[in-house]
Structures are given as structure tokens and as C-alpha cells.
Chain A
């Protein structure tokens, strides 16, 4: 596997289900991100992890719960979602330099298309 992979690619779930999205990066990066891409809206940054520590939670509802067990893996645990949570969820990774401005490029996975019924 190369780059950033995401599983599953498609997920349909009911509002009472619990499911998890998985992201794995094979680039040796130290930062990982979750984005939400809804139709006709800009990409929304949800969470940022640097060196496995969460450094940003962009006012995301608690029904979305991220987990970063190591620098290569990132999960998004889902429970009691709403139909408006249906979207494409993108994972990205980057190599952050220590200190100074960051020009790191984010590399994206193919996304998980989530449908909440």
C-alpha cells in the first residue's frame, strides 16, 4: 500500500448504529487530519493530530470521536449520527517541521462516502 488509504470506501448506517472509519498513512508523516466534504460546501477541517496528540477540534459534535493510536493510524468513531452527517470524509497526513512556519503539503486519502439513513 502506498500513500493514504481509507476504509471502508462506502458506508451506509442508521442513526442508531455505531461504526468506525479507518485511515492509514504509509508516508512516515507525523500529522493526520479528518475533513468533512459536503455537497456545495468547502471542505471542513474536523480534527488535527500532531505526533498522536489532538491539537485541533473544530467544534465538531461529540457524536464524532477521533482516535489516533500511533502516527500511522487514525480512526473516526461514529455513533447516533444524523442524516445531515452524510458526506465524504477525507483523511490527510503531512510532515510537520518543528518550529517555524509550516509549508507542509497535506496528502489525502480517497475518502469514505457516508450515508446516514
Chain B
């Protein structure tokens, strides 16, 4: 069975600081991995996805994530946080049949 663990339900950074949101997965087959962002009172928006091509994936809004098979990780990073990045972030793994398994989410706060 597949599963996703996001380390830290809440992360707080200062504006301009590095953003690092951690995601570890468990999968018995080569996984497809996704990061979604949810702003208040909105649905989920895709940030980026990994589908077995390049291990470093670039997404929207300056975010990127690196797939590390040896560590079963897919951490999300952004070099410099902006106030508008404050939101909840979800990591998800797909079983290649299209079914997504989500982590519990990480709320990102950005301090001025």
C-alpha cells in the first residue's frame, strides 16, 4: 500500500528565507508524486509533479522538488519565501492508476 508522510504540520519562515517542506512516501511501485497548494477558502492547485523523468522538478511560483529514491523523499523548496506563499501544502503519491493518496498537509506561515 502507498502512503505519504509530511513532517511538520506547521512551518513558519521569515519573508525572504528558504522554504523547505518535507515529504516522504512509501510505494511498492515506481511512484508518481505531486505537490498541491491550498489557499484559504479555495480548492487545491497543482504546484508540480514527478512522473519518472528528471528528478528535479520545477513548478509554479518558484517552487521546486527533488525526487530522491534512496531516501524515499520528495521535499518541496523555494529559495526565498514571499508573503503570498502562506497556505497549506499537500504532498500526494499516485498508484499509476490515477488514485491519489495525500499527506496530512503542512501549513506554511510567512512572517514579515
Q: A residues touching B (Cβ–Cβ < 8 Å)?
A: 4, 6, 31, 40-43, 45, 48, 56, 90, 92, 94, 96, 101-111
The answer to whether B99 and A48 touch across the interface, beta carbons within 8 angstroms, is: yes
Q: How many A-B residue pairs have CB under 8 A?
A: 57
Q: Is the CB of A108 within 8 A of B45?
A: yes
Residues from chain B with a CB closer than 8 A to the CB of A43 are 44, 90, 100, 102
Contacts of B32 in A (CB 8 A): 101, 103
Whether B43 and A90, one on each chain, are in contact in the complex, defined by CB atoms closer than 8 angstroms, is: yes
Taking CB atoms, residues of chain A closer than 8 Å to B36 are 108
Q: Which residues of B lie under 8 Å from residue A105 when comparing CB positions? A: 34, 46, 49
Q: Are A102 and B98 in contact (CB under 8 A)?
A: yes
How many B residues, CB 8 Å from partner? 25
The CB with the most chain B CB atoms within 10 A, among A4, A40, A101, is that of: A101
Cα distance A110–B45 in the bound complex, in angstroms: 10
A101 to B95, CA, bound (A): 9
Residues of chain B touching chain A, judged by Cβ–Cβ distance below 8 Å, are: 4, 9, 32, 34, 36, 41-46, 49, 51, 90, 94, 96-105
Contact check, A101 vs B96: say whether CB atoms are below 8 A apart: yes
Q: How far is the CA of A111 from the CA of B36 in the complex (A)?
A: 15
Contact status A108-B44, CB under 8 Å: yes
Distance A90 CA – B102 CA, assembled complex (angstroms): 13
10 A–B contacts, CB within 8 A, in A order: A40-B104, A42-B4, A42-B103, A102-B96, A102-B97, A103-B49, A104-B98, A105-B34, A106-B98, A110-B41
